[in-house]
Amino acid sequence: MKIALIGRYGEGDIIPGPERVSRELYISLKGKNCDVTFIEYFFNGYSDYSFLNKIFGSKIKKDNGVLRLGIIPLILKLLKEQFDIIHIVNSQRFILIIFLFKNILKGKIISTVHGFYQYELPEKKRKRQFLDLLVEKKIIHNSDLLIFPSNLLLTLFKNHYEIPKDKNRIIFNGIGSGFFFNKKYFNRNNKLNCIYYNTFGKGLNKFLLSMPEEIKSQIKISVLGRKNKYDTQNKDIEIVFSDAMNQKSLIKFLEDKHFIVKSEFESFSILTAECMAAGVIPIVSEDTGIKEIISNGVNGFIYKDNKSLPVLLKEIFGDRYNLPKISENASKIYDELKWDKISSQYITVYKLLL
């Protein structure tokens, strides 16, 4: 079985979630001795980006064997190799050429869908990124199988597109092995260290305003993601903004953290999964796909809306729950989401299509 993973592999150590999924899947498949090739494009911003390379370029990265191809070499590679599986691992504009040649390609096309442009992008921005919307439509209508990281995202797509039951699967995103470590005993010492994952920059103030006045503990909130103005009069709350980190720095950063709060929409939230593996307790909204692997009060917490959040926070910070046990349970998510298991699920799907 010859497999081609096609998408953006990325440069450097700090990359977005969809690219991290692509890298981990590629590495895991290679570790299982699969006949797998990763093909990406000469993207704008890459060190070797140029107009000529976008059309004619061809390069093999020595450190990982990833092929970086322009449009013409990409077409020739697909026609020559005739891969059994063509897996679009993240949505990129250059993949439109693959669908143009689909009828003369042997392989089945599988696409992993990480987000929903029509839902996540403001209307004005959508008009400027019509090509991204076109790619999304092509992926949905012309793929032989669609992979979603959560039922939450699948449901959103079903509300806009007709997606047959036999054309979709749910495969959660995986967790790198470095995030599973023996966390120190959950010791708050009258101070709570929280992470607030500020994806779109809109939810931080809502979270701060939801903090009950009765909570007397000192709370340090490390904000990851977009920086924005915040409003809090509570002198017991300290807010710091943290820059993006590579995996090694993030693992170190998580060692003394107690909670991660995710209030905005996200199709899965790899960061939250990684935090859980490190024993950090998740507090997530109903709009976060990772809720599907969280049992409320067992390995984390799920809240319905802004009205229910203050009540939940009061209960959590008021020692109603056995937090050390919940932290221990959260870390067990690694057994379910380690990449060895996730890549095996992908292999099973590949075989079903042959």
Q: Has this prediction a pTM greater than 0.85?
A: yes
**Any idea which residue has 């003369």 for tokens?**
104
Q: Which tens digits make up the pLDDT trace of 2-43? A: 999 999 999 988 999 999 999 999 999 999 999 999 999 999
| Domain 2-174+338-353 shares a fold with domain 177-336 | yes
CATH says 2-174+338-353 is which class? Answer: alpha beta
What whole-number distance in Å separates Cα of residue 274 and Cα of residue 178?
9
Coil/strand/helix, residue 190 = coil
User: Could you give the percent of the chain with pLDDT greater than 90?
Assistant: 67
Q: Which two tokens stand for residue 98?
A: 């693959």
pLDDT computed for residue 202 by the predictor: 65
Domain ranges of the chain: 2-174+338-353, 177-336
Q: Summarize pLDDT for 150-200 with one digit per residue, the tens.
A: 999 999 999 999 999 899 999 999 998 888 765 655 666 667 899 998 876
Alpha helices, DSSP H, located in 42-188: 51-56, 71-81, 96-100, 117-120, 123-128, 130-142, 151-158
102-131: pLDDT as tens digits:
999 999 999 999 998 776 665 555 555 788
Spelled out in words, what is the top-level CATH class assigned to the domain 177-336?
alpha beta
pLDDT the model gives residue 319: 77
Confidence tier at 301 by pLDDT (50, 70, 90) = very high
